[in-house]
Every structure is written in C-alpha cells, then in structure tokens.
Structure 1
C-alpha cells in the first residue's frame, strides 16, 4: 500500500471476524508453540503452574486485540498510527525494531527448519553431525530462496493447506501425549517460585507471541469490514492467536513428562521426534518444515519494505543479499558455534521483549490519553511537520534502557540484575510498567490536551 495514502480505502476493507480469527490462528499454529512449552518447563514450575503460565502467556494476545481495534477504528496500519506517538522521524525507532523483529524471526525459522530436517534424517539412518547439519541448512535455505519465485497467491494457498494439515496432525499428537504422559509424576512436581519462575516464564512467552505480534495487529485490523463491531475484532484477534498457542504450549508441557530432558536440551525437536511414533513424526515434521517456508518468504519481503520506511532504499537483489547473509550467518552461529537453540532463542526473546513491551505500552497509552476523539491525519502523514514527538521517544528510551539495566543473560549483565531480577526476563515487565508511568508524566506535563501539529 502506498505510504502517501493514509487510510485504507473502504473497498479494501474486506476482512470478516471469521477470516480475522483464521488469519491469526494459522499464524500461530506452528511448531514453535511446543518450544515455548519447553521454555516454560525450564523454569522449574509445577505442572499446574506451567499450564497457568501457558494460559497467561497466551492471553498476551489481548494486546494485539486492542491494537487491532485501534487499527479498525482509524482505518490506518500500525506504523502509520505510531507516527502520532513518536513523530515522523522518531517513528523510525519502532520501524527499526520491526526490521530487527522480522530478520530475527526469519533466522529463527530457518534454524527451526534446519533442525527439523536433521531430525528427519534419522528416517534414512543418517547420523547428526556437522556435515549433515550443514546439508540440512543448505537444503532448507535453498528451498526458502527458490520459494521466493512463487507468487503471493500461491504461497497463501500452500500456507492454508499446510495449516489445516498441521492442525489435524497436532490434534492427533496431543492425544498421543495425553495417553503417554506420566500424570502422577506431573502432578507431583514441586511448585516453583511465582516471582522468579512463573512471571519470567510468562514474560518470555508474551515477548515472542502477543507483544511481538502487536506490531502487525493494526495492519490486519485496518482491513476489517466497517460494519464489524469493535468487540468482534478484539476477540477474534485475541482468541485466534491465543487458542492455538495455549494448546501447543500445553502440549509442550505434557511432552516434558514423557521426555524430562526437553527442558535442558539444545535441540527440542530431536526430543520431540523421539517421543513420537516414527510414522507420524515423519509426516508431522515434513508439514511443519513446509509451513515455515512461506512464513520465511513473507518475512523477507516485509523486511525489505520496512527498510524503505526507515529511509534505506535498496534494490530487490541488494535486499536479498543483505538479508540472505544475515539470516544465514545467524543460523551458522547457533547451529555450529553455540550449538544451543533454546538458549539463544531465549536471549533473542528477552532483548526483543524489552524493546517491544515499552513500544506497545507507549503506543496504547498515547492512543488512550491523546487520541480519544480519533487520530489527526496530519500527525500520521509522512509529510507531517511534527518530526519528533519527544514525549513518546523519551518515554521509550527511559523504559527500554531501564529494562536492560534489570536484565542479565549469557551476553549481557545489567548492573541491577540481582536478587529476584537475576537470570530471568523480568526486565520485560519493568520496561512495560515504566513506559506507562512515563506516559502518565507526559500526560501531566501536557495537561491532557490534544497535541497540536507543529
């Protein structure tokens, strides 16, 4: 859509609540849900705590539901709306974060596809080693690049069919997990800490799901039919993302009772594959790998578009070269140098969560505090003279930097990451809470009046 066209044309608003639900459902029924279950288990929670963390983490989709309502009300997509909160130049901050988000998830998906293929090599009795992992990376990376030649409509059809097949197979696998689960052992697991175990588990899931998806929520909400009730947009967005995610995470928690090493392994897909009957494991992993490819193509194209909104205009060939190098070098590091997918994935979610939690908190606070009567289109116009909204920018900087100060992981140690903040992701909550507080201060300073265009 042309950046100069502020509002989505009425003729293009064709999404129904049912279609909205399916779009979010299909986007969140991937195999990564089981990985989130493994991450939750790694926080040493009881079975009921782990299920509760899965539920609360999945309900982070209340945030995209809210953002989608704003998008529907205004008929404007996410990064055009955020110009009001940050200014046209200041808006390059969330644009840059969105680019990092897309490229990071693209790398995660390529790593996931590679690990799925290495697990499938067992079928032909090929042992996992550096060479076979390299072959799997070349095969999957090559498929992603070749798939880029397909048209969007073709990719959409492939994704639709794979989503349905994957959904049915997932239901079968969950039944297998229910039958094989060691229920007594699961129910006897000791309770973990609600502060240093439960909350970090929720925050890491929210960072990779509801908080991350909030950047795209208004993009879909803006295309909802005008006569749709806002509540329908909210609930179909929320439940479309939350339902499959919760079910898959619960499945990952159940899997941990069958394969206790799930929570400590560097490759959760190997553990998952070994817990399944070989016949369904092969089909399931093939479908899962196939479903990742269209997502990778969409991410590649979106990353290039996002670069242009930041102000970096490159040709398609240059963009493919830049992003291709990035998303190959990251998997090379994770697969051949670090060797631990789960650990690196958690670090990525931790950093991403801190940046995005503060961004979406400011976006929603700005909407509630200053846009009750709607957005002034002059503020979201790319030619707006309001280049910087310092209230939003400074709030984001304070909240994000403070979040990092209370965070530590394998690559970063914040000076205040001690006590209950040590070795967990509570910095995500700190970032969101402080962003809200900062915006209340901005509200007080501005006296609650609507902003004027400079």
Structure 2
C-alpha cells in the first residue's frame, strides 16, 4: 500500500514512499503551504547564489541595481513556480506526469527528457560544488593540496559522501524530505547567517559606493539571468512537491509559499554576492566559487562556511534528485521510484568526476547550461500555464495509461497544438539566445544581437510565443470543445 505523506509525525516521515507517478488519492492529500515554504527555502540557501550576484556586478550593475534584479528575477520566477504547482494540487501527480494531459502520451516525451536533463545538470553542479567544499575542508583539517586533480581518490570519496547523503533523503521520499528540509533549514540557515555576517564586514564599501549605474537594459538582462538561473529551472518540478497538498489549499497560498520561501534566501545571497564582487571582481570569474570565497575568510571562519556551503547544496540536491526520479519514471522506465533515484545519482556521480578531474573549468559550463536549457523549459511553462487556465481536472487513469486506449493519446500519442506551440517557442527562443558567457559562448542565435537578445529577454519571448500560440489554437480544448 502507498504510504501517506503528510510530514506530520516521525513515523510517517521515516516511512519509505512506495508511490511512483500515479496520482495521490484525495483523502491522502493533507499537505499545507507552510511545508512547501520550507522546502523551497531549503533548496535555495546554497552558495550558488553568491556567484550569481557576482555575475550581475560583472555585467556593470551597481549593488543596488543587482538587488533590484535579484528581487524581480528570483521572487518573480518562483512566483511562476508556485503558479505551476497549482496543477499538482489539482491532479495529485508529478508535473511531467500531468504534462501528458497537455502534450499527449508520446508528445510528452520531449518535455520530459528536457526536464530530466535539467535536473541531472543541476545535480551535477550541486555535486561538483559540494565536492569542492569538502576538498577545501580537507585542506584545512589535514593539510592536503586544494587541487582536486592531485588527490583523485579523495575527490571521488568527497563526491560519494555527498551522493550517499542525497540518496538517503530523496530515496525515502516525500514525507522524509519535507521533514529534513524544514529542520535542516534552521541549522544551515543559521550557519549561513553567521558566515554572511562576517563576509559583510569584509565588503569594500568605498567600491560599492563608487560604482556607476548601468543602463536600464543591463538591469533587465540581469533579471533574465537571475530568473533563468533560479526559478525557471524549478518550474517543471514544482508539482512534484505540491501533489500532496490538500485540495482545499488556496492557489494564492501556493504561489506565496514558493515566491517567499525561495525569494528570501536568494535575494540575500545574490545581494551579498554582488557586494563582495564590487570589491573583488575576480569572484565572478572563479573556476571554483567555493575556493574563491574560502580565500576571503580566516581559517576559524572557513570551517563553518564550508559546512554551511555543503549543507545548502545538499538540501537543494535532495529536492532535485527526488524530482528527477519521478521524471525518470514518467519517461516510461519501469523501476521502483527508489531505484530511479539511484540511477539518477549514478549519472551525476560520473558527471561530477568529469567536471572536477577531467574538465578544465566549472563555472563557464554552468552559465552555458542554465542559459541553454532555460529556453525549452520556459516554452513548456508557457504552454502548460495556458492549459492550466482552462483545465480543472486531470483523468487519473489516463495519466498513467500510455497506450492507445488513453484519453490523452490524441493523435498518434501527440497533442499537435501543444507540441507545435512548444516546438515553435523553442525555435524562436533560440534565435535570440546566447548560451554561455558572451566571450566564450556555446551557441549564439542569429537575433542575439538585437535589443531583446542583448538584454537577456530570450526566455520572455519564448514564454510569450509558447503561451500565445497555444492560446490562439484553443488551449486546453478537447475534441468535444471542452477542457478536461
């Protein structure tokens, strides 16, 4: 029997979640928005917010402009995450499983595969950064060299420790994850406050005050960078957590829990990163952001900093790996949910080894990665959001039926209006996209030099095209002319 996951008692929290992607029965949905607040807060207290803030300063912004960009980009993008999570409350199923109702049993494979790549990429980033944190800690405690390639065995052990702690939480499932995220937030959140307070004392306030404001277009571009690097990447995972929310929970409460839960730590971390970079621009170019920040601290403060960095990344990885396991099942791989989690972790384990021991850099691929995948994910968000405006019900049987008998089979397994709008938005979005840093881009679209492209608005255009084309074609209209 599937376990009930409310996160209300120790017994429930420690029980293995046996449910896969099948919808949660209404009587078992007892979650509250307050639980999701802690889930999103915990997932965003990692130090990756600091280099994002440094990137804004590197673009030419003042600290105060960076703060504005952080608020608009982080809070705004996670408000979208909260809006998409409404579908999880309605259908009781993971986001990419609900997406079958929109794109069709076969047509949904495309968005699902992109989502899985996004999750695996973020997990590799988390794992790589966490391994750097443990390596730096080993340097302090044991006097080893900070260069990972000089200690390959130690590096692999650091990666394995992080992955093992991830599997324990993500493997046990939703209730245990919710409980861990809430209580761990207090521990690692307080550590972050202590370290952040010390870092504030090192800020070059003269450099902060002397900076000249950047044009408004640069600020707009900064909002795009923050949105793409924070909320947009989580949008297709939001329903994975909200599927246990009680049917009576208000939609506005879900939006607020995500926007505030993620927005508070992100705005603080991004703002701090921008202040630090104003006095030390090298932070934005650091191949190892953990080591760059570690160098600013005395040894006695570096230890709690590295522990806080490791913990924040671990909390983010819990949520990402849990979602990746559900997304793997949605692709049609027939294994138990816990084994899907293990498979995903093995992939990111190998990816982290490559980035640390083989590749020459880490931060440049990170920027290229988030900017490249922001386009297809945003296209999916546009189509899915329009569909939500009409769709109030998801057929629980059809969601897990990928055969020709499914109510969501449509035409040869594809809903042509939704899939066509998604594909069109991707094509148009990439026309305006520069994937990666401008001086070392992986890809530059032919319209990337226009005002929209230069100001990082490719993701906005992608959303508008995806939502607009799908809406023009009728949105969640069925063959009978009614939304399901």
| 1:389 equivalenced with 2:415 (yes/no) | yes
1:97 to 114, 128, 143: 114
CA–CA distance in structure 1, aligned partners of residues 418 and 30 of structure 2 = 32
Pairing of 1:257-406 with structure 2 (within 5 A): 257-293=278-314, 296=317, 299-300=320-321, 302-313=323-334, 323=344, 326-368=347-389, 370-371=390-391, 374-375=393-394, 380=399, 382=401, 383-384=406-407, 385-386=409-410, 387-406=413-432
3-state DSSP class of the match of 1:180?
coil
**Greater fraction helix:** 1
Aligned to 1:436: 467
Once the 2 structures are TM-superposed, how far is the Cα of residue 26 of structure 1 from its aligned partner? 1.4
- Give me the CA root mean square deviation: 3.2
| Contact preservation (8 Å) 1:118, 1:133 | no
| Contact preservation (8 Å) 1:86, 1:392 | yes
| 1:114 equivalenced with 2:128 (yes/no) | no
Once the 2 structures are TM-superposed, how far is the Cα of residue 353 of structure 1 from its aligned partner? 0.7
CA–CA distance in structure 2, aligned partners of residues 315 and 236 of structure 1 = 30
| 1:427 equivalenced with 2:458 (yes/no) | yes
Pairing of 1:123-162 with structure 2 (within 5 A): 123=140, 124-132=142-150, 134-147=152-165, 148=167, 152=172, 159-162=181-184
- The range that moved more, 125-134 or 308-317, is 308-317
2:212 to 167, 184, 190: 190
Once the 2 structures are TM-superposed, how far is the Cα of residue 395 of structure 1 from its aligned partner? 0.7
Aligned to 1:407: 433
Aligned to 2:69: 53
2:83 to 66, 80, 96: 66
Q: Deviations over 1:149-187 (max 9, x none)?
A: 676277766655442221112122232233332223212
CA spacing shift, 1:252–1:380, aligned 2, 3 Å? same
CA spacing shift, 1:375–1:332, aligned 2, 3 Å? closer
Q: Deviations over 1:253-275 (max 9, x none)?
A: 12213433112222222221122
3-state DSSP class of the match of 1:443?
coil
| Contact preservation (8 Å) 2:287, 2:361 | yes
CA–CA distance in structure 2, aligned partners of residues 41 and 172 of structure 1 = 24
| Contact preservation (8 Å) 1:38, 1:268 | no
3-state DSSP class of the match of 2:259?
helix
3-state DSSP class of the match of 1:190?
coil
Q: Which blocks of at least 5 consecutive residues in structure 1 are unaligned?
A: none
Q: Taking structure 2 as the reference length, what is the TM-score of the superposition?
A: 0.82
1:246 to 254, 261, 267: 267
- The range that moved more, 357-366 or 421-430, is 421-430
Q: Deviations over 1:235-262 (max 9, x none)?
A: 1222111111111111111221343311
Once the 2 structures are TM-superposed, how far is the Cα of residue 223 of structure 1 from its aligned partner? 1.7
